[in-house]
Amino acid sequence: MLTLAALAGPFAMAQDAGGWYGGANIGQSSATIDDARITSGLLGQGLATSSISDRDRDAGYKLFGGYQFNRNFALEGGWFSLGKFGYSATTLPAGTLNGNIRLDGLNLDAVGILPVTDKLSVLGRVGLTSVHARDQFAATGAARVPYADPNPGRRQTNYKVGAGLMYDFTDALAMRIEAERYRINDAVGNKGHVDLVSVGLVYRFGGKVQAPAPRVVVAEPVAIAAAPVAVAPPPPPLPAPPAKVTFSADSLFDFNQATVKPAGKRALDKFASDLNGTRYDAVKVTGHTDRIGSREYNLKLSTRRAQAVSAYLVASAAIPADKIVAAGVGGAAPVTRAGECKGNRATPQLVACLQPDRRVDVEVSGTR
């Protein structure tokens, strides 16, 4: 977990807002059954073991919910079932010993998240578990159950670790592929582990706060001459198109994303309606990020966001594609003053202070 957090540091950026999520995984669990211990126990009864058949695979699944504090860390809890495992031993003199165990419980995990691209992330986790182990033993013939209670049960706290990949289909829906190891103590003193390899879906319940409204820079009007009318005074000139509008990136995109979300589309649709009747000379769309994170990563994200806004305006405002230019500058042109926002780590306070730097500027040159 510490290594993952250290690797994630250079990628930290402004879109560190988190939120609540939930999901479910299903897959295959596998246990290591100690055949040597079983054979030794039967030998203590004066019995030789002629064969042992292990049931060491089963279906496993988990239900979980959590809160992602920022783009690199989440706290997650849930319920899991690792399935049922067992063995059947045949003895000489003739007899059989059967053992079964069912495992389920609760967990609380710290989850580290390392974004690789804007959609793919690497996951690492370490956590505590409260595992309920329920054993069952039965014997026939010369064999006998080696425990006073043939159906013991026990709940014990232990640990688990895991790693995996997560891919975001949309801002709200993602898929996980994970491999986890659960440390297990059964109800009769045996210790071991169970591995679970699973795939599942994650649903995010949305942002923590409503995105701020776009900040509009009012342009000075451009006078447009109107043709004289013989029988009436000339009509007033039409207002010039907005010369420059600044949209908060938080209002257009979810964190670490370059897909315009529904609230952002409504803001761009309103802007497009203000451009009705414009004869365009040029339109420039510039994406900005804050200073948190690597320069290369921020430059790529700001470019993708500028291109997303440009494509949407071409479609919604009928701006000719050859009149619009999109570019990203990363965090090279902040609007916050030097020293105004202190710190370098992506704390909630720093992220909030640098919010004005995360923006998309749209500059329009044209007439009506």
Query: Structural domain of residue 27, as residue ranges?
Result: 18-204
Length of the chain: 368
Regarding whether 187 and 305 lie in a shared domain, the answer is no
This prediction's pTM: 0.55
Domain of 73: which CATH number? Answer: 2.40.160.20
CA–CA dist 292, 8 (Å, integer) = 12
Domain presence at residue 141: yes
What ranges in the chain are assigned the alpha helix state H?
2-8, 35-44, 249-252, 262-274, 295-316, 348-353
- Whichever domain contains 276, its CATH number is 3.30.1330.60
Domain identity same for 273 and 338: yes
pLDDT tens for the 368 residues of the chain, in order? 444 444 444 433 334 446 999 999 999 999 988 888 889 888 988 899 999 999 999 999 999 999 999 989 999 999 999 999 999 999 999 999 999 999 999 999 999 999 999 899 999 999 999 999 999 999 999 889 888 889 999 999 999 999 999 999 998 999 999 999 999 988 888 888 999 999 999 999 975 444 455 565 555 555 555 555 556 666 666 556 667 889 998 899 988 889 999 998 999 999 888 888 888 899 999 999 999 889 999 999 999 999 999 999 999 888 999 999 999 999 999 999 988 998 888 888 988 899 999 999 999 988 87
Any domain includes 12 = no
d(Cα 72, Cα 126) in Å, to the nearest integer? Answer: 14
Residue 327 neighbours by CB distance under 10 Å = 14
CB atoms within 10 A of CB 225: 7
Q: Which of 204, 226, 257 is the last residue of a domain?
A: 204
Q: Are residues 160 and 269 in the same domain?
A: no
Whether 169 contacts 176, CB under 8 Å: no
Distance CA 89, CA 96 (A): 5
Q: Report the distance separating Cα 170 and Cα 176, nearest Å.
A: 13
